[in-house]
Chains A and B, each alone.
Chain A
Amino acid sequence: MDQNQGIAMRIVASLLVLGCFAVLAWLNGRVVGEGAGQVAIYTAIGFALTLLGVAAVTGLNLAADPGTLGPWGYGAVWGAVVRGFLVVLPFTVMALLAQLVYDWPAAQAFIQASIMTGGAAAGAEVMRQAGRKTRYLVVSTIVAFVFSGVWVVFTYAFQKVAG
């Protein structure tokens, strides 16, 4: 794989991950919000939260082990993290099936599961690429846990504000 292919794959994976979380946020926005405006705001904030979460998993892994990850830089670590977070794809398809086909509004459960599973998978991916240090798994799982909690608080606060 040459440099251009590698960068293209990283961009495609990033768009897929962010797009899936946006879809999950849109599904949950339809449950917790009223009207197209509220759904759009919830989706936009959910998208921003995801971007922040993936950036945090990447940055904190780098900060936890700059000696090993530093030479490859933020972009390469970001690539490994988004490959891990690609587990959000099956969750998104299942959430769409559950909510649009079975009329079962449980997108929040899929969001929580996506974040926690994605965080663990991202840690495992960095671990595989960067020499099998368990610290990557620990850091990524903790950040995902916090990120998952932030999403719960955000949903609760949104419901309160939206009335």
Chain B
Amino acid sequence: MTDPDAFGWHHLRSGAAADHQVGPLTWEQLLGLRSSGALGPADLVWHPALPQWIPAAQVQGLFPAADTQGPAQGPVRTALTMILNPGQAVRSALEDVPWPFCLGVSGLAFTLFFLQTMLDMHRVGTAGTGRVIGLTFLGLGVGTIGIGLVAALAWALARPLGCTRSLEWTIRAFCLAYTSTLVFAVVGLIFNLAAGWNTAIAFGITGALWAFHPLLGILKEMTGQKLAASLVLATVCGCLVLSVWAALSL
């Protein structure tokens, strides 16, 4: 019986006759063949949406790491790609993005996020100026050291699942995932200061939650596209960041 979710990927071993093709297969089944070694980069694959059989290595996302790694992009472009197309961003050469830039993105994002939270509390009289300044600097620590530690935890948990990415790559990727948080934080701060709005939830939290899209892409890349494992890791990381923010600011 065929799999009802099979969307029609077909696989042809190098040198095999056309009647030895396997399929239709789902994307996960194709990834499974790659993981087991049954599908090599030179083997041909085909899908009804493709005009002809192509080497598996040319299928985006099928062979992670060096064999299909995309060309290096500028750091700003890589960060923006994290928002728009995380799948492409994690396959680009993240190791080439300078680490101070990566830490700067998440560090600034959380600094401005915490600043908005404190400004909101200052406005209603629940935080003094000293606490506003103190917690803002704490935000910088959370965005750099905190996110680095969360990335390290995710990396450690993903290692038994076959993660081939380095710790350095993981920290860079996690930090860049918060590009959307930075964009929301900057816009929120403008409204907070110019219009006197309370923006911690509308812009701060929303921006932090938006980082989940790239984070999930990163975790899927780290766990060999295992959806269940990446969802569990995303839940652990998300609850950790949420708890730290709640403990420090609520």
Residues of the B chain whose Cβ atoms lie less than 8 Å from the Cβ of A89: 231, 235
**Which residues of B approach A to under 8 Å, CB–CB?**
1-8, 26-27, 29, 47-50, 59-61, 87, 201-202, 205-206, 209-210, 212-213, 216, 227, 231, 234-235, 238-239, 242-243, 246, 250
Which residue in chain B gives the minimum CB-CB distance to A112? B206
Residues of the A chain whose Cβ atoms lie less than 8 Å from the Cβ of B209: 91, 109-110, 113, 117
Q: Check A97–B242 contact: CB distance below 8 A.
A: yes
- Choose, from A32-40, A42-50, A51-59, A126-134, the stretch at the interface: A126-134
Q: Check B206–A90 contact: CB distance below 8 A.
A: no
Instruction: Say whether A156 faces chain B, with CB atoms less than 8 Å apart.
Output: no
CA gap between A98 and B47 in the complex, in Å: 44
CA gap between A106 and B150 in the complex, in Å: 23
CA gap between A113 and B8 in the complex, in Å: 32
CA gap between A117 and B205 in the complex, in Å: 14
Minimum C-beta distance from A156 to chain B (A): 14
Residues of the A chain whose Cβ atoms lie less than 8 Å from the Cβ of B2: 3
Which residue in chain B gives the minimum CB-CB distance to A73? B4
Q: Check A128–B1 contact: CB distance below 8 A.
A: no
Asked if A6 meets B216 with Cβ closer than 8 Å, knowing A128-B27, A131-B47, the reply is: no
CA gap between A55 and B43 in the complex, in Å: 36
Minimum C-beta distance from A113 to chain B (A): 4
CA gap between A140 and B50 in the complex, in Å: 21
Q: Check B239–A97 contact: CB distance below 8 A.
A: yes
Q: Check B234–A90 contact: CB distance below 8 A.
A: yes
Which residue in chain B gives the minimum CB-CB distance to A125? B27
27 A–B contacts from the bound complex (CB under 8 Å): A1-B29, A2-B1, A2-B3, A4-B1, A9-B5, A71-B48, A76-B5, A86-B231, A89-B235, A90-B238, A91-B209, A94-B238, A102-B242, A102-B246, A102-B250, A109-B202, A109-B209, A116-B210, A121-B216, A124-B87, A128-B61, A129-B7, A130-B8, A130-B47, A131-B7, A131-B47, A131-B48
Contact of B5 among A10, A68, A86, A102 (CB under 8 A): A10
CA gap between A90 and B228 in the complex, in Å: 11
Residues of the A chain whose Cβ atoms lie less than 8 Å from the Cβ of B87: 124
Instruction: Say whether A80 faces chain B, with CB atoms less than 8 Å apart.
Output: yes
Q: Check B1–A113 contact: CB distance below 8 A.
A: no
CA gap between A87 and B210 in the complex, in Å: 12
Nearest 4 pairs between A and B by C-beta?
A131-B49, A113-B209, A129-B7, A90-B235
Residues of the A chain whose Cβ atoms lie less than 8 Å from the Cβ of B3: 1-3, 5-6
Q: Check A7–B238 contact: CB distance below 8 A.
A: no
Minimum C-beta distance from B157 to chain A (A): 14
CA gap between A133 and B141 in the complex, in Å: 41
Q: Check B231–A129 contact: CB distance below 8 A.
A: no
Residues of the B chain whose Cβ atoms lie less than 8 Å from the Cβ of A10: 4-5
Instruction: Say whether A79 faces chain B, with CB atoms less than 8 Å apart.
Output: yes
Asked if A117 meets B213 with Cβ closer than 8 Å, knowing A1-B3, A6-B3, A10-B4, the reply is: yes
Instruction: Say whether A75 faces chain B, with CB atoms less than 8 Å apart.
Output: yes
Minimum C-beta distance from B235 to chain A (A): 4
Residues of the B chain whose Cβ atoms lie less than 8 Å from the Cβ of A113: 206, 209-210, 212
